[in-house]
Amino acid sequence: MKLTVQTIADAQTDLIDEFQFFDDWMDRYQYLIDLGRKLPEFKEEWRTDANRVHGCQSQVWLRASGDANRLHFDAISDSAIVSGLIAILLRVYSNRSASEIISTMPGFITEIGLDSHLSATRSNGLHAMLKAIKAHAGAVLDQNHG
């Protein structure tokens, strides 16, 4: 039996489909919180200033590992909803190639409706996390071409 790896486009489509299942935003927020609770453990020694994502109102740490062929991200926040936002970003962008990360626009954010239903501070935080993920991918590509 062959294991098929989900493409980055499939990951976005699946997230959009999951969120469309919910009729109202209270249910969608609860789903986000539930996703955040399922994040893998984030080790205490990873909670360094170097791993801190700036631009978020809550505290967020993001750690990248791997290489240009496959970047893995671990992240955590002290906010339940932000942890959920992290969970969906990691579903789309973690364990992808650096070039795929950089070239993939986060269309799912608009499709789900996050851009219009998040507070300004949470929206800024979401974009700061996305920028950090893409910056890690860009730095890895620069190292390979430098």
- Flag whether 89 is in a domain: yes
Q: What pTM was computed for the model?
A: 0.92
- Does 2 fall in a domain? no
Name the domain count of the chain: 1
**13-49 core/surface letters (b: 16 or more CB in 10 A; e: else):** eebbeebeeeeeeeebbebbbebbeebeebeeebeee
Per-residue pLDDT in tens (0 to 9) along the chain, 146 residues: 545 568 999 999 999 999 999 989 999 999 999 999 999 999 999 999 999 998 878 899 999 999 999 999 999 999 999 999 999 999 999 999 999 999 999 999 999 999 889 988 888 889 999 999 999 999 999 887 75
**CATH number, domain containing residue 62:** 3.90.1010.10
Report the catalytic residues.
Answer: 56
Residue-level pLDDT at 139: 95
